Amino acid sequence: MAMLYMSGWENGEHWKGLMRQHLPDVEFRIYPEIGDPADIEMALIWHVALDQLKTFPNLKLISSLGAGVDHLVGERHHLPDGVPLTRLVDPSMTSQMTAWCVMAVLNHHRRWDDYREFHRERRYEEIDVAPPADVTVGVLGLGELGGSVARALLPMGYQVTGWSRSPKDIDGVQCFHGAAELTAFLAGCDIVVCLLPLTDETRGILNAETLSRMKPGAFIVNGARGAHIVEPDLIAAIDSGRIAGATVDVQVQEPMAPDHPFWFHPRILTFPHVAALTIAETCAPQIADNYRRMKDGRPLLNLVDMDRGY
Ligand code: NDP
Ligand code: OXD
């Protein structure tokens, strides 16, 4: 029986070496070297060849090689019925994302770009900046990543709020939940950090209407998925002066086309989807654990609820 690695990344051999340490008796194959399709019991997948999954008659577990599963849920017609899908929840990914979001918040709040400009111009001048206690950072999504970002901002003195689907109780964080509380949540934010999963309910959640509900001069940080933002609406809101700017790790189309307007916008900073990378060393043990759980019929870790979409 075998595990098949289907990622499109060029580190298959590296994963193979690691998985051999954790599961020495399990053969590790790297797509497109499938061998006999009947051998494949577990697939590790990112964006590659989803339409092949139904051709493995003994497939018992699909594991996303990322934390997000929108691309898999969105293509669920390719997933064999009844085969569970798990995702990665990894402390390294959480700390990477936390650091990236904190960096984006601090850079905006402490006027990094303006001081860089002053430095170039040899201007030794002070810019008025509100103390953190007067700045509210709101986190959309209070799960593994959003919860960590919210907690990390507290000791820096920020007012922290958050929004999730179900009610949450996080010490020091004012928690909102459900569609009915979205407007109240947004209205209080100076900086909004998006860490939602991309689902039918959250696609385009940052649009002309919701952006207009934010405080004038609010700033957007998106570490989740590009399609959470209606990109032309964001540009219009920034150009009108309503929104101060945005830092986005993710875009609707990745990689961004050379003529994408984000490249040319002075108030938008883009990153190439690097906020939290999958580190094979830290993720291999949980994948091995789930393999053993699948074999023993024990409950799986980080199971995706296909109907909920995350
Ligand atoms: P989780 O599933 O742990 O958390 C998701 C949070 O969003 C939960 O708090 C959930 O609410 C909330 N949520 C979901 N749907 C809604 C809704 N309709 N209304 C309000 N709240 C909602 O996910 P993670 O924190 O692990 O990851 C979040 C996303 O980050 C991933 O889906 C992925 O897209 C992105 N990501 C990006 C990376 C990058 O490098 N840029 C790397 C890793 C992830 P509740 O708690 O009530 O369920
Ligand atoms: C993920 C990602 O979901 O890298 O893990 O975006």
CB 109 within 8 A of CB 135: yes
Query: How is residue 305 written in tokens?
Result: 């609820």
Q: Which atom of ligand 1 is nearest to the CA of 202?
A: 18
CATH class of 2-90+278-296: alpha beta
Q: What are the contacts of 278-281 at 24+ separation with CB within 8 A?
A: 278/65, 278/66, 278/88, 278/90, 278/93, 279/90, 279/92, 279/93, 280/11, 280/14, 280/15, 280/18, 281/18
**Integer Cα distance of 223 and 104 in angstroms:** 10
Nearest to 15 by CA among 214, 272, 287, 270: 287
Q: Give yes or no for residue 211 having a pLDDT over 90.
A: yes
Residues whose CB is less than 8 angstroms from the CB of residue 272 and which lie 6 or more positions away in sequence, other chains included:
249, 254, 255, 256
Beta bridge partners, 269, equal 247
Query: How is residue 69 written in tokens?
Result: 């599963």
| pLDDT single digits (tens) 147-156 | 999 999 999 9
Record the pTM: 0.97
Q: Average pLDDT, stretch 107-136? A: 98
pLDDT at 233: 98
pLDDT-derived band of residue 260, with 50, 70 and 90 as boundaries? very high
Rounded to the nearest 5°, which phi and psi values hold at 163? Answer: -135, 130
Give me the DSSP letters along 105-152: HHHHHTTHHHHHHHHHHT---------GGG-EEEEE--SHHHHHHHHH
Distance 68 CA to ligand 2 centre (A): 5
| pLDDT single digits (tens) 47-103 | 899 999 999 999 999 999 999 999 999 999 999 999 999 999 999 999 999 999 999
Q: Where are the domains of the chain?
A: 2-90+278-296, 91-270
| pLDDT single digits (tens) 7-56 | 988 899 999 999 999 999 999 999 999 999 999 999 999 989 999 999 99
Which of 278, 279, 287, 302, when mutated, tests ligand 2's pocket best, judged by the most ligand atoms within 8 Å of its CB?
A: 278
pLDDT-derived band of residue 178, with 50, 70 and 90 as boundaries? very high
| pLDDT single digits (tens) 263-287 | 999 999 999 999 999 999 999 999 9
Nearest to 67 by CA among 252, 198, 170: 198
Query: How is residue 68 written in tokens?
Result: 């997000």
**What superfamily would CATH give domain 91-270?**
NAD(P)-binding Rossmann-like Domain (3.40.50.720)
Mean pLDDT across the chain? 97
pLDDT at 8: 86
Which of 65, 103, 196, 301, when mutated, tests ligand 1's pocket best, judged by the most ligand atoms within 8 Å of its CB?
A: 196
Residue nearest (by alpha carbon) to ligand 2 atom 3:
68
